[in-house]
Structure 1
Amino acid sequence: MSAEEIFSFANEMTDSVMCLRAGGHHLQAAMLTYVAIEQMAWLSVEPLRSGPADFQDWVNKYMQPHAQLPCTAREIWEARNGLLHMGTAESYANRDSSEIRLVCYVYGNTPELANKSKGIVFVRVEDLVTSYLTGVMWFLTDLQANPVKLEIAKGKLARMLTQRPLPPAN
Structure 2
Amino acid sequence: MSTEQVFAFAKQMTDSIICLRDGGHHLQAAMLTYVAIEQMAWLSVEPLRSGPADFQRWINSYMQPYDPLPCTAREIWEARNGLLHMGTAESFANRDNAEIRLLCYVYGSTPKLANKSEEVVFVRVEDLVTSYLTGVMWFLNHLDGDPNELQVAEGKIARMLTQRPLQP
Inter-partner Cα distance in structure 2 for 1:65 and 1:74:
15
Alignment map for 1:105-144 (pairs within 5 Å): 105-144=105-144
Aligned length: 166
TM-aligned CA deviation for residue 162 of structure 1: 1.4
TM-aligned CA deviation for residue 115 of structure 1: 4.3
CA distance in 1, matches of 2:145, 2:77: 27
Unaligned runs of 5+ in 2: none
Change (3 A) 1:114 1:67: farther
Q: Are 2:2 and 2:144, in contact at CA under 8 Å, matched by a contact in 1?
A: no
* Uncovered stretches (5+) of structure 1, i.e. residues with no partner: none
TM-score, normalising length from structure 2?
0.96
Secondary structure of residue in 2 paired with 1:99? coil
Match of 2:16 in 1: 16
Within-5 A mapping of 1:8-157: 8-157=8-157
- The residue identity in structure 1 corresponding to 2:15 is D
Report the counterpart of residue 7 of structure 1 in structure 2: 7
Seen in structure 2, the aligned counterparts of structure 1 residues 114 and 141 have a Cα distance that, compared at 3 Å, is farther
Which amino acid in the other structure matches residue 6 of structure 1?
V
Q: Tell me how far 1:46 sits from its aligned partner.
A: 0.2
- Residue identity matched to 2:6: I
Deviation at 1:165, TM superposition (A): 3.3
User: Which residue identity lines up with residue 18 of structure 2 in the other structure?
Assistant: M
Mapped partners of 1:78, 1:48: distance in 2: 22
Deviations 1:55-94 (A, max 9, x none): 0000000000000000000000000000000000000000
- How far does residue 109 in structure 1 lie from its aligned partner after superposition? 1.1
Matched residue SS, 2:103: strand
- Shift in alpha-carbon separation, 1:4–1:24, aligned structure 2, 3 A: same
Question: Take 2:74 and 2:45, find their aligned partners in 1: how far apart are those partners?
Answer: 18
Aligned Cα RMSD in Å? 1.2
How many Å apart are 1:116 and its aligned residue?
4.5
Structure 1 letter corresponding to 2:142: D
CA distance in 1, matches of 2:121, 2:153: 33
Partner-residue secondary structure (3-state), 1:162: coil
Amino acid at match of 1:47: P
Q: Deviation at 1:163?
A: 2.9
Instruction: Tell me, in whole angstroms, the C-alpha distance in 2 between the residues paired with 1:137 and 1:45.
Output: 17
Per the TM alignment, residue 2 of structure 1 is displaced from its structure 2 partner at its CA by 3.2
- TM-score normalised to structure 1 length: 0.95
- Name the aligned partner's letter for residue 147 of structure 1: P
Give the % identical residues.
79
